[in-house]
Amino acid sequence: MKILKAVILVILLFPIISKGQAENPIKSVRGTWINFAYQDERNKYMNPAGIDMTSPELWRLKIKELSEMGMEYIVIMYAANERKSFYPSTFMPPAYTSGRESPIDAVMNAADEHNLKVFMSTGWAVNQDDNILTQEILETQLKILRETAGLYSKHKSFYGWYYPCEGVIVPYLSQEHVNITNRLSAEARSLTPGAKIMVSPYGIRSVDFSERLFSAQISKLNVDIIAYQDEIGCVVEKLPLPKMKENFARLREMHNTNNIAFWANSEIFTWEKELNVRNSALIPAPLPRFLSQLAGHTKAGVDEIISFAVCGILDKPGSEYPLGHPIYAGSAYKDYMDWKSGKGRWKLLGATFMGNLKHEGISSKVTYGFAPAEQNSSGNLTDGLLGAETTYDKNWLGFDKNDLIATIDLGTVQRIKTLGARFLNYRPYEVFLPGSVRFSLSNDGYDFRELPVITFDNYTYDYYDCWIDVAMIDIDEEARFIRVFAVNTARKWIFADEVMVNPEY
């Protein structure tokens, strides 16, 4: 990391111009899990008190809203809970008002109407702590599979099966778990030939890809799709994004040698209180973090991206049945839909994650107000080198309690159309986004005309996540000198890696 404790002056001998058109647009989320019941505090906003989550009107509306967001796949998390069913069962009492349409019937009928594809769940035999390796749980899940196959397999929207007891792949799937999965699959294939079978294991952070047993055990699974949990929302290790991206690239290589589709289960959530515990509610993560996840999955070459969960986390504001956090869900929905439609800074930020910005080489001279604390990198704000979501990346310049002020000399007067600057946010290490960023332009280096102030979204729920954001402004002016002034409102650290002039992406 390049740590500066002063105002800097950057004098460029040549302009920094970003080139290249995006060749691989970032994949969007195309599926979500849905929940019918409150199980613990994590479901506080996904299954809020005061709303009948078994209402058929609710699910008809939610399926319509999800379709409008671009969803294609609906994954039913569980068909039963606490020994009560969300469909008409012969061996369990209903978890919904008797005599009215069941929640699963409502989902299937609405999915038929909106041309969505539904993965039916085989759980829960009892509850979310089902241990599929026990005989009683397995037999009950098989009974659920048989009943729901008979009820729903003829629906247009019926696409396949989801086994909700996710296997842990640390360091590889046990043979016992492979056997149980394949026992379920034998029944599913017998009852519903041609239906797709999906599992969503966790633990990729601990996989040893040099261990041949990992690939061998995956290849033994009689399934069609593996949607690996990316575990970014759960933050099971500090600063998980760079390693996740590496691991997903390795998974792609492995899946090139088998016939199982490679999907990502991208975790869109973060935590309201404590991290990764059942007494803390799930809330939407800041879009910059989630966008980096999507870019990582796209670059790795996943076939599809689905997410636990869009429904109940990223919900359309103003709905008749409001799910999600009453404040955060609406703004998160707007950010996501703005990104999908190409509005605002999101396309530029996404291009930096995808590596679609290619900078020309430049000569530069940097002078400091006083000697930097350390100099262990040859980079600067205009070297075209971008940092990752970690404070240890040497491409970040750090400003401790000082504002960031940099002046860039393009060498000649040029037409400026877009300006951008990237910053890191990681509260646990006291690295914060600037309170505001202002660009100024000058033809002679003395008289500067200020452009409108740029402020970042105020993500107050930043207790656990590390993310990158970009300040961007579109203009149409001529200038030789560009000044960047980022206000260190928190008076902690500001980390910046790049100032972009006329980026093309």
pLDDT at residue 9 tops 90: no
Q: What's the farthest any 2 CA atoms get from each other in the chain?
A: 82
> Under a CB-based contact definition with an 8 Å cutoff, are residues 241 and 293 in contact?
yes
What residue ranges of the chain are covered by domains with CATH 2.60.120.1190?
A: 2-20+357-501
Q: What confidence tier does 365 reach under pLDDT thresholds 50, 70, 90?
A: very low
Q: Which of 480, 425, 375 is nearest to 8 (CA)?
A: 375
Q: C-alpha 82: how far from its chain's center?
A: 31
Token couple for 179: 């056997």
**Element counts in the chain: helices (H) and strands (E):** 9, 23
pLDDT band at residue 14 under the 50/70/90 scheme: very low
Give the amino acid at 123.
G
| CA geometry: angle 221, 225, 228, nearest 5 deg | 95
Residue 359's pLDDT is: 53
Does the pLDDT at position 230 exceed 80?
yes
Looking at the predicted structure, is the pLDDT value of residue 370 above 60?
A: no
Write down the pTM of the prediction: 0.93
Contacts of range 167-170, beta carbons closer than 8 Å, 24 or more positions apart: 167/199, 167/201, 168/201, 168/202, 168/203, 169/201, 169/202, 169/203, 169/204, 169/206, 169/207, 169/214, 169/217, 169/218, 170/203, 170/206, 170/207
Architecture in CATH for domain 31-353: Alpha-Beta Barrel (3.20)
DSSP state of 205: G
The amino acid sitting at 238 is: K
412-458 confidence digits (pLDDT tens): 899 999 999 999 999 999 999 999 999 999 999 899 999 999 999 88
CA 287 and chain centroid, separation: 8
Half-sphere exposure of 356 (CA within 13 A, CB side): 20
The C-alpha atoms of residue 325 and residue 313 are separated, in whole angstroms, by 7
Contact 466, 392 (CB under 8 A): no
- Check residues 259 and 369 and name the one with the higher pLDDT: 259
Report the relative pairing of strands 225-229 and 196-199 from DSSP bridges.
Answer: parallel
What's the pLDDT band for 315 if we cut at 50, 70, 90? very high
Q: Which of 115, 117, 88, 97 is nearest to 57 (CA)?
A: 97
Distance, in Å, from the CA atom of 397 to the CA atom of 393, rounded to the nearest integer, reads 9
Q: How far apart are CA 32 and CA 309, in angstroms?
A: 5
Cα 224 from chain centre: 23
What pLDDT shows up at residue 206? 87
- The arithmetic mean of pLDDT across residues 396-405, rounded, is 89
What is the three-state SS of 87-153? CCCCCCCECCCCCCCCHHHHHHHHHHHHCCEEEEECCCCCCCCCCCCCHHHHHHHHHHHHHHHHHHC
Lowest mean pLDDT across 7-16, 245-254, 319-328, 473-482: 7-16
Cα gap 54→79, rounded to integer Å: 12
Token digits of residue 190: 């017998």
Burial, 460: exposed, middle or buried (Cβ in 10 Å; 0-12, 13-18, 19+)?
Answer: exposed
Least confident of 65-69, 166-170, 309-313, 348-352: 166-170
Fold of 2-20+357-501: Jelly Rolls (2.60.120)
Q: What percent of the chain has pLDDT over 90?
A: 79
- For residue 423, the SS3 value is strand
Residues of the chain with CATH 3.20.20.80: 31-353
Residues in the chain: 505
Among the listed residues 175, 299, 320, 322, the one whose alpha carbon sits nearest the alpha carbon of residue 247 = 299
Q: What is the pLDDT of residue 351?
A: 95
| Residue 11: per-residue pLDDT | 41
